[in-house]
Amino acid sequence: MNPMKRLITLAFAACLAGTAGAQTLDDVLRSIERNNKELQALGQQAEADRLATRTRNNLEDPRVEYSPFFTKGTSGVATSELVVTQGFDFPTLYAARASAARLQREAIDRRHAAARRDLLLTAKRLCLDLIRLNREARLLDERSRNANRLLELFEQRMKEGDAGILEVNKLKMERMNVQAEAARNTAAHRAALQELLALNGNLPLDFEATDYPQAEPVADLDALRDEMMGGDAALQAADATARAAAQEVAVSRQGWLPQLEIGYRRNTDLNERFNGFLVGGSLPLFANRKKTRIARAQAVSSQLLADDTRLKAEATVQGRFNELQQLQASLAAYDVPLMRHTLSLLYQAVTEGHLSLIDYCVEADGVYRNLQSQLDVEHQYQLTLAEVYKNRL
């Protein structure tokens, strides 16, 4: 390749890498879905369980028996017997087990879907934590810049005799507090990011988002109920498990049917050969004892667990709806532009000498506390929305 063309190609690739480097929340979730070791293990286990359900309906292995007989006065084998047999269950039992296997595979798929959803929900919560920490870091950076600029201003005024050491020390303490909060923010950010990387198989992620994903406000309880109940993966898994357990009762009830056996028999001696068929069976008088009672108890247990899961999900709907309504009302009460404008006016007033530093610190600290509270409420609102819409993952 021409050196100039190679240089242009490399530059173009670098530009693409720079623009495509930052990952969105959806990008992170898709990456974790591909790379998470636990999810991969669960997928392999689900595949193994699905294959195991198919082996229950296999025919028995054919049996081959050969018996040579020896007697005095005869060289070699005097007579022999060859028996080839194949055993199988009563035909209706295969149909019942096939239905049970199909329901078991559905239950396996549902449980795997629920496990996948829960893992991705954990990853999404970590992403939302990182967004909050990034927004908090931006607020702390703003506070730090203001504190540093005011410290330089008042140190200059102190040299000129227009400010005292108490005012300078007050600003130094403000900067110290901001630095301490920034250090805690950095530690929390690193911890959350490390957890996210572990979910991604310790492969690198580039997630620096500061904006939450867009989501429509929840205003209708019935719509929320349909959203949470209609697609709940855990509820679907519990229902599928209960139906599979109920079908196992039907399978166990047919356990009293005889097992059949057919085969071919060949007998030979020195002069004659005899061919015939073998027909037999076995009555499960003892092998099936109490199996129906066991299957029925397991079916009742699975149904009770499914009912309990449904009751808990229904109770959660009302609680989540009330929580969202309260959080939405709290967010609406915060006037962020007003608080930003107030901080700007306070900074202008103290730098121009119209406001004492003590009054500025008191007023600005109150505004910053409100901005921090708004960040916390918004974060809790996004976490609740993530829980409500978790079945969309």
Query: Is the entire prediction scored with pTM above 0.85?
Result: no
Q: Are 179 and 144 in contact (CB under 8 A)?
A: yes
- Residues β-bridged to residue 79: 69
| Amino acid making up residue 315 | A
Q: Write out pLDDT tens, residues 246-284.
A: 888 888 887 777 788 888 888 887 778 888 888 887 777
- How far apart CA 305 and CA 211 sit, in angstroms, is 40
Q: Are 228 and 313 in contact (CB under 8 A)?
A: yes
Predicted confidence at residue 7, as pLDDT, reads 37
Predicted confidence at residue 382, as pLDDT, reads 93
Predicted confidence at residue 342, as pLDDT, reads 92
Ranges of residues in the chain with a pLDDT under 70 are 1-21, 285-287
- How far apart CA 36 and CA 56 sit, in angstroms, is 31
Q: Are 270 and 238 in contact (CB under 8 A)?
A: no
Sequence-distant (≥ 6) Cβ neighbours of residue 262 within 8 angstroms: 85, 86, 277, 278, 279, 280
Predicted confidence at residue 92, as pLDDT, reads 82
Tokens of 371: 């901005």
CA 357 to chain centre: 50
Buried b (16+ CB within 10 A) or exposed e, 32-44: bbebbeebeebee
- How far apart CA 103 and CA 242 sit, in angstroms, is 9
Predicted confidence at residue 21, as pLDDT, reads 57
Task: Give the chain's end-to-end CA distance (angstroms, integer).
Answer: 45
- How far apart CA 338 and CA 296 sit, in angstroms, is 65
DSSP 216-276: PPP--HHHHHHHHHHT-HHHHHHHHHHHHHHHHHHHHHGGGSPEEEEEEEEEE-SS-EEEE
